[in-house]
Structure 1
Amino acid sequence: MYRLNIWLRGHPWVRDLPLYALFVFMRPMSAPPGVPHAVLLIPYLFLLPLFWRRRYPRIAAALIIAGVIAQYSTDVWAFDRGRGDLALAVVLFTLVKRGDRRFAAVVAGCALALDIGWAVVWGVAAQNIPTAFLAGLPLHIAAWALGEFFRAREKLTAEEGARAELAASEEKAQARAAVAEERTRIARELHDVLAHSMSVIVLNAEGAKLIRHQDPESVDRTLDTISRTGRDALAELRRLLEVLHAGEAGRSPQPTVTELQALVDQVSTGGRQVDLVVTGEPAELPASAALQVYRIVQEALTNMIKHASADATGRVEVAFGPGGARREVRVEVTNSGGTERPAPALPSSGRGLTGMAQRVEMYHGKLDTGPTEDGGYRVSATLVLEDAA
């Protein structure tokens, strides 16, 4: 049924066939005696304008009005009133449905005038002028009402189609935004994981090269650190690639705050001293917030590896704060200036501070970064956790 309706919309002339049949087989109201049958066929000329009523509705209406005037002007055709009224009703319906109400009002006025004229001139023969006048009025009113109904229905259908297209467009836009957000998140994760791991590996490799003759055992420990860090980086990279291909379902457990000590230990190799101070309990801390704390500390330590001198010391302080409706988690990572000349700077993407700012912004917090008085550097971040209830 649905396909039939679609096909009929594309072939409107098929729907007009019953109407044309009505014009052909409609019997005249009466006919004068002795009138040739060829003359009685002249009213069928109303069909010709109706063929073009959709493409040229005004021209069709004008031709039909002219035909009705000619019909009502002679006693040969005047009593075949039905075809004229029906043709006027059809073009009136077409004009109203198309929204051409002004011209439709002109046609309706002409139809009313023609009904009055027919009632005055020919209604006497029917001995009932009021009835003759009102005979065609319901048909014209119904044609106007049907035109308004079908126009409103088409307008509603068009609006529903537009809303459906808009909803589909919004859904696609949301999908693209979600994809872009996920790509940004993965890019940030890749930066944090690889930048930190590669920095630790480079730092320890250079340190091992310097002390390979003085302390061979320390070199072995350093190489173990390089191996462990590289394996962890590969595992993180594999996890992110699984997320990229499999989506959310492929995500393995994220790093948590309980792994901060292992993170600090990676940086403490090679003679650099980094202390970790944790206050409060991370109980009931959302997994996402725990991940942001871990990544902020990781990025701050990465920056220290890249830019601080080899003898610079560091300190990581994490305060989880008391639980409740509003909970603040504070992270502060500082490093001293050191006395040695800093090693050549490692390549930097420039996204580290931006990534930390985005992580803090997720929790309506605050990020402060800048140099300290002794030539070191300080990163301070506050995450605000509010109870949704």
Structure 2
Amino acid sequence: MEQLVVWMRRHRWTVDLPLYAVFALLSPNWVGEGSWGVRAIPMLFLLPLLVRRRFPRTVAVLIIAGAAAVYFNDVWAYDRGRTELAMAVVLFNLVKLRHRWFAAVIAAAIVVLGVQWVSLYAPETANPTFTMISILPLHIAAWALGEFFRTKEQLTAEEEKRDDAQTRAAVAEERTRIARELHDVVAHSMSVIVLNAEGAKLARHRDPAVVDRTLDTIVHTGRDALAELRRLLEVLHAGQAARSPQPTLAELRELVGQSGRDVTLDVTGDPGALPASAALQAYRIVQEALTNMIKHAPADATGRVSVAFEPPEVRIEVTNTGGHAPPARALPSSGRGLAGMHQRVEMYHGKLTTGPLPDGGYRVSASLVVGS
């Protein structure tokens, strides 16, 4: 059924078949003077209706001209029903296609032709005024139907635009989410890899065992990063269903261990009751804070990660000391880290505060509202 509707929309002439049938079957004025062929000529005046959608104004003028020819001819004058219906059709067509001013002109012409017909032929009837007025509801209905279908098309177009805007917004939001995820994964992992590679380079002549452990960390971090990137690519190809499983707070200890710094982890409360999406946001906030520590804090700086489950909130705090070692060569920064954390916190109506500490360190404090 749906395919039939689509096909008919593409072939509008099929919708007009009932209308053409009405014109053909409408009782003509075959009785009277003149031959059959002469009396059938008004049927030719209806042919422009076939292209009324493509040339609405031209067809309207031709139909009015044909109606005038019919009403001024004594042989054709009583073929009024077909003529009035044809004028109603073009009036409907003009209104539906938003040619209101032109439709008003055509409506005025229809009234003038109606008065002309009544003045010439209605005196023979019992009630000329009724004869004139009786045909007006047809044209009023044509105008009203034109307005109705025009409004319906406008509403449909607006709904399509709204749906398109919502789709675009959803795509933009998804792109932002994936970009944020990529930033968190790549920035953290590459920072850990670069930091450990530099450490291994410095220790390769003094302590080969340290180099081996450092290389193991690099390999492990690289494999995890590849796994995360693969998961994000699966999201791109498979959609929402491919988003599980996600990193959770249960993996925080491993994340802290990969940092290559002296960082303590303190988790209080019950993490099991935390929604998976909120757990992911908390994990990413900790990950980004540790990434900033790796990038900007001196090599001997120590850190502390505290995650507290205090319904209805999750409180996250990541701090690091100032350290005394000379600052390492700065790693490249995208500038998206803090912005990404702000976005994650806003998703859960929480609060984010960041800033330096008196000892030269840095503090990131965030809260997520996960329940009432």
The TM-score with structure 1 as length reference comes to 0.77
Matches within 5 A, 1:265-284: 265-267=257-259, 269=260, 272-284=261-273
Query: What secondary structure sits across from 1:320 in the alignment?
Result: strand
**Alignment deviations for residues 291-310 of structure 1 (CA, whole Å, 9 cap, x no partner):** 01000000000010001100
Which residue of 1 is the match for residue 99 of structure 2? Answer: none
**Alignment deviations for residues 144-179 of structure 1 (CA, whole Å, 9 cap, x no partner):** 323333443343333333333333333233223222
Matches within 5 A, 1:344-383: 344-383=329-368
Which residue of 2 is the match for residue 27 of structure 1? Answer: 31
Which residue of 1 is the match for residue 127 of structure 2? Answer: 134
Which residue of 2 is the match for residue 296 of structure 1? Answer: 285
Please state if 1:105 is matched with 2:97. no
Percent identity over paired residues: 51
Which residue of 2 is the match for residue 260 of structure 1? Answer: 252
Distance 1:236 1:144 in 2: 72
Distance 1:27 1:135 in 2: 22
AA partner of residue 310 (structure 1)? A
1:337 aligns with one of 306, 319, 322: 322
- Is the Cα contact below 8 Å between 2:30 and 2:39 reproduced in 1? no
Matches within 5 A, 1:200-215: 200-215=192-207
Query: What secondary structure sits across from 1:341 in the alignment?
Result: coil
Aligned-pair CA distance for 1:262 = 1.0
Matches within 5 A, 1:1-389: 6-8=12-14, 14=20, 18=24, 22-23=27-28, 26-28=30-32, 54-56=59-61, 57-67=63-73, 71=74, 82-83=78-79, 85-86=80-81, 89-90=84-85, 93=88, 97=92, 98=94, 99-100=103-104, 101-115=107-121, 118-119=123-124, 132-134=125-127, 137-138=130-131, 140-267=132-259, 269=260, 272-321=261-310, 323=311, 327-387=312-372
AA partner of residue 199 (structure 1)? S
Distance 2:77 2:206 in 1: 121
- Is the Cα contact below 8 Å between 1:315 and 1:334 reproduced in 2? yes
Aligned-pair CA distance for 1:89 = 3.8
AA partner of residue 296 (structure 2)? H
- Is the Cα contact below 8 Å between 1:365 and 1:383 reproduced in 2? yes
Greater shift in the superposed pair: 312-321 or 152-161: 152-161
- Is the Cα contact below 8 Å between 1:95 and 1:103 reproduced in 2? no
Cα distance change of structure 1 residues 102 and 254 upon mapping to structure 2, 3 Å threshold: same
Cα distance change of structure 1 residues 149 and 8 upon mapping to structure 2, 3 Å threshold: farther
Cα distance change of structure 1 residues 363 and 293 upon mapping to structure 2, 3 Å threshold: same
**Alignment deviations for residues 71-130 of structure 1 (CA, whole Å, 9 cap, x no partner):** 4xxxxx7xx9734x54764566457545433333333333443355x33xxxxxxxxxxx
Distance 1:230 1:109 in 2: 89
**Alignment deviations for residues 226-249 of structure 1 (CA, whole Å, 9 cap, x no partner):** 111111111111111111112122
Cα distance change of structure 1 residues 196 and 223 upon mapping to structure 2, 3 Å threshold: same
Cα distance change of structure 1 residues 47 and 344 upon mapping to structure 2, 3 Å threshold: same
Cα distance change of structure 1 residues 61 and 341 upon mapping to structure 2, 3 Å threshold: same
Note the residue ranges of structure 2 that are not aligned, 5 or more in a row.
50-58, 95-102
Which residue of 1 is the match for residue 52 of structure 2? Answer: none
AA partner of residue 116 (structure 2)? C
- Is the Cα contact below 8 Å between 2:196 and 2:218 reproduced in 1? yes
Aligned-pair CA distance for 1:331 = 1.0
Greater shift in the superposed pair: 177-186 or 332-341: 177-186
Pairs aligned (count):
345
Note the residue ranges of structure 1 that are not aligned, 5 or more in a row.
32-36, 72-76, 120-131
Note the aligned Cα RMSD (angstroms).
3.2
**Alignment deviations for residues 21-61 of structure 1 (CA, whole Å, 9 cap, x no partner):** 854x5213xx7xxxxx68x9977776676666843144444
Larger-Rg structure: 1
